[in-house]
A = this chain, B = another copy of it.
Amino acid sequence: MLSDDQDRALGVCYYPEHWPEETWSQDARRMRELGIRFVRIGEFAWSKLEPARADYQFDWLNRAIDILHAQGLSVVLGTPTATPPKWLVDEMPDMLGVDADGQIRKFGSRRHYSFSHTGYRSQCQRIVSELAKRFGTHPAVVAWQTDNEYGCHNTTLSFSPVDLAAFRNWLARKYQSVDALNKAWGNTFWSMEYGDIDEVELPNLTVTEANPAHRMDYQRFASDMVIEFNRLQVEILRKYSPGRDIVHNFMGRILDFDHFALGNDLDISSWDSYPLGFLEDRSDNSDEWKSRFARTGDPDFQAFHHDLYRATSKGRWWVMEQQPGPVNWAPHNPAPRSGMVRLWSLEALAHGAQTVSYFRWRQAPFAQEQMHSGLLRSDGVEAEGFHEVEKVQKDIRIIKWPAQALSQVAIVFDYTSSWAWEIQPQGKEFDYFRLIFDHYRILRKLGFSIDFISSQTRDLSGYKLVIVPGLFAWTPQLRQALVQFDGEILIGPRSGSKTVNFSIPDQLPPDLPTEILDLKVSRVESLRSDCPVKTRHGKFRFWREHVIAGPETKVEFATSDGSPALVRQNNITYLCGWPDGHLLQSALNGLAEAAGLKTRRLPDGVRLRRSGDLTFVFNYGDCDFDASGLELGECRLGGTQIPPSGVSVFESG
């Protein structure tokens, strides 16, 4: 295990079951020589570990672990529950998920199960118990990974009869009576009233849109099922494998279960960072932007998730799978620009990752991911990424890693809000991730390092500036924290626009007491992208609000059609629409000044990360960046002239 949080390590994902046993020792030796400390194994190996019911074949895994151990490597052992074997699926075919169109999602790839299936949960408990009993105290085993990439391939929500039964149970526990449910959902509308909770249907395949409150509860239920599913494994692992860390590997821009809730049960959050695949597949940016950063990844996407997953398990986090070369699953799969694997690795470490682990050791020549690069080519020769990892290994030793500390700026990130605006976007561009990401990018452009905090946060006092865009509904905790906070707060657009039951608040959004913010959102508009609303400092796009600002407030500036755009009351500022970059930069500049924070103006491709006394500079751009004007202190790595893909580290006095 890592000695303390100033330690940094490298890892790799390895599949001994894919290779002849005689090659394992050499692999282990080469890993050690590369400076790898952690090896994740086993997470897809169920059919090799139990080829038929109760026919446990654990010896090969034991030998593999021993071989790794012999080289001084530590093992992160994966539970294999993301890939139930065929014999198990054939025993209980109703464990398969069903998509929103009613199609059974068949065996033949991975994640072919519904989280709510109690039979499958029992089987997972069984195999995890067996593995934990056998390997839980092996000296090489220092951590467990539960399952793999929960929610990937749209698997959080499933619409099977089994899910329906579980949903009805969940509703019965939540509402106790059908009258309470009907009232909470507003089922009097369109005669949607149920006579019994067991009459409730799944909210898919309705004639027109289903009740948003119905969908929201289905989303909450589905998220809860993931949390429960994971917790069953955690409990077993804690029992049989004491003292080991429990990790899960989250994904990029998957929002359909509450990662804070799941992260609470883990010791370490981790995520799988594929900068190029994500740029192609999960970015809202224009083609021009994608073309520009095609071989580097979006300059903010990785950092965003680093900062997010640093929050979900209270600070300890890893990159479990780091892209080492071209991948296979995006519409286009270019190679990283030379130096980017190193940059991505150092960036993760700068954001506080304890470990960066590469996926995978050696490219598999067969099956679905045969075009996914590894550190080695499929013929065992070192691939380009291998040599970058060698450099990272050296860099790690040069840098004196600082202890974790809070950033000056925080953004509230709330999974419920992302569900809400997916259920009811009102304008087709209104996506929560996109809104938060827009804020994140501009804050970074201004030079800030950022923390994400959950909507359950009770205390904001460590921060100078807190941003709350697009919050579905206030939690009592956050509302209280707001009152007590004396730093700068930016709220809106659309924050507090709903009650927890997905209704409009009685006193209208933003649903705050007048003494906090004397403002009502009287009317909202969603805007075509070719119909933005102008202000003196930029535009609202996609969304704007007509607000009535009370006497306690000051309208900082208005839209060109005369409606308040930015409204301030004491330390709280409300933003009345979805800002473009220019408007957001203006607003944040003003807030930063009020908060006593210094801002910078970074080019699109250059980003900073402040950590203790160190400031890391990362150049995603395609020309040299001269960092001397930033006055960041003594250069400890790289130089002040930072080439494309370059990383420099500065230490302030």
Interface residues of A (CB under 8 A from B): 17-18, 44-48, 51-52, 80, 83-87, 90, 97, 101-112, 152-153, 155, 185-195, 199, 201-214, 280, 287-288, 290-291, 294, 325-326, 328-329, 331-335, 363-371, 373, 377-379, 381, 383-384, 424, 426-428, 501-508, 522-528, 530-531, 546
Write the chain B residue with the least CB distance to A291: B530
| Bound CA span A45–B194, Å | 13
Partner of A109, one of B111, B190, B290: B190
Chain B residues, CB < 8 A from A291: 528, 530-531
Q: Would B44 and A190 count as touching, CB distance under 8 A?
A: yes
Q: Would B528 and A294 count as touching, CB distance under 8 A?
A: yes
Q: Would A48 and B526 count as touching, CB distance under 8 A?
A: no
Q: Would B207 and A105 count as touching, CB distance under 8 A?
A: yes
Q: Would B332 and A105 count as touching, CB distance under 8 A?
A: no
Q: Would B213 and A367 count as touching, CB distance under 8 A?
A: yes
Q: Would A377 and B106 count as touching, CB distance under 8 A?
A: no
CB-CB under 8 A for A155 and B207, given A528-B294, A531-B291 = yes
Q: Would A428 and B332 count as touching, CB distance under 8 A?
A: yes
Q: How many copies does the complex hold?
A: 3
Q: Would B503 and A366 count as touching, CB distance under 8 A?
A: yes
Q: A463 → chain B, closest Cβ, in Å?
A: 33
| Bound CA span A152–B209, Å | 12
| Bound CA span A508–B86, Å | 32
Q: Would A523 and B378 count as touching, CB distance under 8 A?
A: no
Q: Tell me what chain A mostly uses at the interface: helix, strand, loop, or mixed.
A: loop
Q: A307 → chain B, closest Cβ, in Å?
A: 28
| Bound CA span A46–B195, Å | 13
Q: Would B325 and A523 count as touching, CB distance under 8 A?
A: yes
Q: Tell me which of A51, A85, A506, A528 has the highest count of chain B C-beta atoms within 10 A of its own C-beta.
A: A528
Chain B residues, CB < 8 A from A371: 424, 426, 524
CB-CB under 8 A for A365 and B334, given A191-B84, A208-B109 = no
| Bound CA span A150–B374, Å | 42
Q: A506 → chain B, closest Cβ, in Å?
A: 7
Q: A203 → chain B, closest Cβ, in Å?
A: 6
| Bound CA span A531–B294, Å | 8
Q: Would A192 and B103 count as touching, CB distance under 8 A?
A: no
CB-CB under 8 A for A528 and B185, given A48-B191, A195-B52 = no
Partner of A524, one of B107, B326, B546: B326
Q: Tell me which of A190, A213, A333, A530 has the highest count of chain B C-beta atoms within 10 A of its own C-beta.
A: A190
Q: Would B528 and A368 count as touching, CB distance under 8 A?
A: no
| Bound CA span A207–B368, Å | 13
Q: A106-B206, A109-B209 are in contact. List 5 more A-B contacts (CB 8 A).
A: A48-B193, A86-B195, A185-B367, A213-B367, A378-B508
Write the chain B residue with the least CB distance to A184: B366
Q: Would A426 and B188 count as touching, CB distance under 8 A?
A: no
Q: Would A189 and B364 count as touching, CB distance under 8 A?
A: yes
Q: Tell me which of A383, A424, A502, A504 has the highest count of chain B C-beta atoms within 10 A of its own C-beta.
A: A504
Q: Would A370 and B503 count as touching, CB distance under 8 A?
A: yes
| Bound CA span A519–B379, Å | 14
| Bound CA span A291–B528, Å | 7
Q: Would B18 and A335 count as touching, CB distance under 8 A?
A: no
What are 30 residue pairs bridging A and B, where the CB atoms are less than 8 Å apart in the complex? A44-B191, A48-B191, A48-B193, A51-B193, A87-B199, A106-B207, A107-B206, A108-B214, A109-B208, A110-B191, A152-B208, A153-B207, A186-B364, A189-B366, A209-B368, A211-B367, A212-B367, A212-B370, A213-B367, A291-B530, A294-B527, A325-B523, A328-B426, A332-B427, A334-B525, A334-B527, A335-B523, A335-B525, A365-B503, A365-B504
Chain B residues, CB < 8 A from A546: 335
